[in-house]
Structure 1
Amino acid sequence: MTLEFLGFIWNQIILGPMINSLIMLYAVLFSNFGISILVFTVLIRLVTLPLTLRQIRMTKKMSTVQPLIKDLQQKYANDKSRVSQETMRIYKEHGINPLGCLGPMFIQMPIWIGL
């Protein structure tokens, strides 16, 4: 992939629709770019709210098991593989995906960079 292709994709998928939406809000509803930007930002926040809530829930779950993981690290300080196995067991017991917070973050990142 060339850099030009990535730039084209970025412009067509992220920036183009965002700019068109802002122009539509300006032309059709508000006739004020300041209000259009505020409304557009609120709409984006509402659209990404489920992803944000999921990320917050996963972060809270991770923080609740953190003391258990620290205990494991102290208990099996000399055996790194055992620490990894027990950590994964704890994650599984509590329904935690260690990379669960990354998905929503990577989906939201281009949107916020585009803003």
Structure 2
Amino acid sequence: MTAATTATAATLRHIVMFSFKEGTTPARIDALVAGLGALRQAIPQIAGYEWGTNVSPENMNDGFTHCFTLTFASAEDRDAYLVHPAHQAFVGTLGDCVQRALVLDYWAQ
């Protein structure tokens, strides 16, 4: 399968995981979750959105507790999301509570 075929036949997933600074309140985390979820209405290129908290019994999450999956129909849609003013404004709010972030994009197989 060529890159062009993959781009048209598969779905692009954008995975974001956060670990939070000690002392971050549940209300602040809830606000962050709501803010990221609101991007779906603000950025039409987001084809799908879901999130959840770690429930794995394996204890291999390395401090990451929250996972967000955004779905895009193309790399161009993902790229438009990354530079969108609403996304950039959201990213600007993370410094006060996010200890670490992990981002991974992949074409769903």
Structure whose residues are more often strand by fraction: 2
Bigger helix fraction: 1
Q: TM-score, normalised by structure 1?
A: 0.28
| Higher RCO (Cα < 8 Å, 6 or more apart) | 2
